[in-house]
Amino acid sequence: MSLPRRFGTAIHAALSYIVFFFFDLIDAVLCVAYEFADEILEGKSQGCYCKTSPLHTTGENECSETLFQRNSIFRGTWFVGFARNFKSKLSRRMRKSKIHESVNRWSDCGCQSCNSWTKNEDKNLHVVVKDSTSREDSVQESLENVIFIHGFMGSSHFWTETVFEHIKQDRYRLFAVDLLGFGASPKPSDSLYTLREHVDTIERSVIKPYQLDSFHVVAHSMGCLIALAFAAKHSNIVKSVTLVAPPYFPSSPEGSVLNRIARKRLWPPLAFGTAVMSWYEHIGRCVCFIVCKHHMIWEWLIKLCLGKREIPWKIKDITRHTHHSAWHSMHNVICGGSKFADEHLKTLIDNHGVKIHLIQGDCDMIVPSHCSSNMKRNFPAVEVDIVAGADHDSMISGTREEFAEKLASIWCSRRTVMDTKLGTQAR
């Protein structure tokens, strides 16, 4: 490494230490402030992960260790303890005499759009179904069911506004879900948004009500980890799994997944934003309070600037969650759920021969390119397709028709294999 480059790296490291040192301090102060505000405004405090111990949960329902092991310089220092004691005495005097139960927390948006899920009595996910086949056609020829799962900060719009219109509907019935805590789906404040909870809600909202006896799965980003767990649970009826930009981080001596995907650094800006929102629970809540709770104001300003009646769905999706749902999904699915990916892949490939197709852009700045190469190395049966010049989203949104055709070819090839097997068994 040249001397100027080493000097630049040292400067970046020093500035990163200083900036994140202040973020540690700010997050510690906000911890006490939010706890105090919660008790005053809600009558109780739900607490945070700054001082709690790991919950006694197991398997895919367990909480990620990254929730409890995020190192902070100021966590547990004397002045934070003093502030908490002062807060406890003061809040006992000011606390409301009656605890008011509310669907949303005071720092979350309570508009009709964000709370529309409360009218859903069965508490199932919001599911968009596209099926243009007639009843006669569906009787004569069995339909191919396809379940689409979006990624972090997304919704069913990610699929319905891109590839749905390009998939020929002669044989396919398409299901696009809003994951638990996102879009128009329920956002319960008592949920931990673990990998198993996401899988169970998809099963309850799609498999059972629509009585699916077979299906394909297509997933993007964080949704890929959920898709693998979901497919492994139904490995006897799943036909194929297509993973787009999967965050595949198997167990490694390099440390936790959080350190690998959200290392504390200032540059590039995307990495800096990811680090702040992943490491700092209370700063992240502030961001959600400003952006999500007041999304109506931001949407009005964007409409005013763009001169349009409707804002782009991508912008709208960014605010359609709570801090509680996003924070827990990030840690319990991406960080904690990654360690189950190998187990699920082994179940699907080795035990049931399910075809796994991986698609990733070579310019992806969110999911590193080594994720696809690592999966291919550990599971050679995985078919990998690297899209030149594509980033994390553009391989879908930028080439919608081509991507739809690629999906159709995957499903068609799998259908041919299944038909051949059935024919052989019949003979």
Question: Bridge partners of 410?
Answer: none
357 labelled catalytic:
no
Q: Which of 256, 328, 392, 393 is catalytic?
A: 392
DSSP-based helix, strand, coil % in the chain, nearest 5: 50, 10, 40
Give the rounded distance of the alpha carbon of 117 from its chain centre: 19
Q: Which of 24, 27, 38, 364 is catalytic?
A: 364
Q: Which of 126, 150, 198, 220 is catalytic?
A: 150
Cα separations in angstroms, 143 against 138, 160, 218 = 6, 19, 16
Cα separations in angstroms, 203 against 108, 116, 155, 401, 403 = 28, 21, 17, 29, 26
364 labelled catalytic:
yes
| Opening angle at CA 295, ends 289 and 300, nearest 5 | 145
Burial state string for 335-373 with b = 16 or more CB within 10 A and e = fewer than 16: bbbbbbbbebbebbbeeeebbbbbbbbeebebbbeebbe
Question: Bridge partners of 220?
Answer: 244
Amino acid, single-letter form, for residue 262 = A
Please tell me what DSSP assigns to residue 379: -
150 labelled catalytic:
yes
Query: Edge-to-edge strand order for the sheet containing 383-387?
Result: 127-130, 172-177, 144-149, 215-220, 238-244, 355-361, 383-387
**DSSP β-ladder status, 238-244 and 215-220:** parallel
Q: Which of 64, 221, 278, 325 is catalytic?
A: 221
Which is nearest to 411 in space by CA: 202, 242, 243? Answer: 242
256 labelled catalytic:
no
- Cα–Cα distance, 325 to 335 (Å, whole number): 14
- Cα–Cα distance, 227 to 241 (Å, whole number): 8
| Opening angle at CA 26, ends 32 and 11, nearest 5 | 160
- Cα–Cα distance, 198 to 125 (Å, whole number): 10
Positions marked active-site: 150, 221, 364, 392
